[in-house]
Amino acid sequence: MNTNNWSWETFFEAFPIVIQGLGITAGLTFACFLFSLIFGFFWVLVRQIPIGFIRGCIIWIMEFIRSTPPLVQLFFIFYAFPMIPGIGMTLSPFTSAVLGLGIHFSTYIGEVYRSGIESVDKGQWEAAKALNFSTGKRWTKIILPQALPPTIPMLGNYLIIMFKEIPLASTIGVVGILQLAKNYGAQHFNYLEALTIVAILFLVLSYPSALLINKLEKKMNRRFDKKAPSGSRPIPDNKGAVM
């Protein structure tokens, strides 16, 4: 086989092999993103602890996670975590990837949540408190419905970024499209066509998604530009009626 020139025969031979890993790649992306969406709330909650030392430790941990390469975190969870005395828990490559990438991106998503929550007018908090809402009802009825919609475009951007980072999971044995391309290249001593297929698949999936996110962001911006001034949104009473 000629390893120096492009071969369409090799391309069409490798394509059905590489694309078999698309389900794993896509599934891992959504699993990591779902985990990061849920765990992002954890960072928001623990940062509300009214003890300066604990809050400072949480902020430091988040900064440490953000400042450490996700590849190092994947290696630690998959290779080093089982060797910690008293734990000795061996995780599958897929689970390790979900934990590693999910926790890493959850620190960024937690900041997105926090910015959305802080954008809610203080009058909304005071009104909910004056109406004697419980903590749960205050968050579900007043704060989150106003805080989360503006964050949707940013969350969409992080989904696309995460999708591009998913190939890192191949380093710990997750058999996605990149790992299958590497396997094909090793077997046939030709990586050009197989890796080109990987690049095309990422482009075909991520570029339309980026356009959709940009369109959604513009739509959200127009929506909030037309909103009434901050603090004028009606507050539901304890029975759900609008005041």
Per-residue model confidence as pLDDT tens digits over 81-119:
888 887 768 899 999 999 999 999 999 999 999 999 988
Alpha-carbon torsion angle 26, 27, 32, 34, nearest 10: 110
In a domain, 176, yes or no: yes
- The stretch 173-179 carries a mean pLDDT of 95
Q: Report the pLDDT value the prediction gives residue 124, as an integer from 0 to 100.
A: 84
Type of residue found at 103: I
State the total domains in the chain: 1
Inside any domain, residue 40: yes
CATH number assigned to the domain comprising residue 139: 1.10.3720.10
Does residue 188 lie within any of the structural domains? yes
**pLDDT of 214:** 83
Domain range for residue 197?
9-225
Residue 54 lies in a domain: yes
Asked if residue 66 is part of any domain, the answer here is yes
Angle between helices 8-18 and 177-188 (to 10 degrees): 140
- Predicted confidence at residue 236, as pLDDT, reads 42
140 lies in some domain: yes
Question: Are the beta carbons of 123 and 231 closer than 8 angstroms?
Answer: yes
User: In this structure, what are the phi and psi dihedrals at residue 150, rounded to the nearest 5 degrees?
Assistant: -65, -20
231 occurs within a structural domain: no
| Average pLDDT value for residue range 24-41 | 96
Write down the pTM of the prediction. Answer: 0.84
Residue 121 lies in a domain: yes
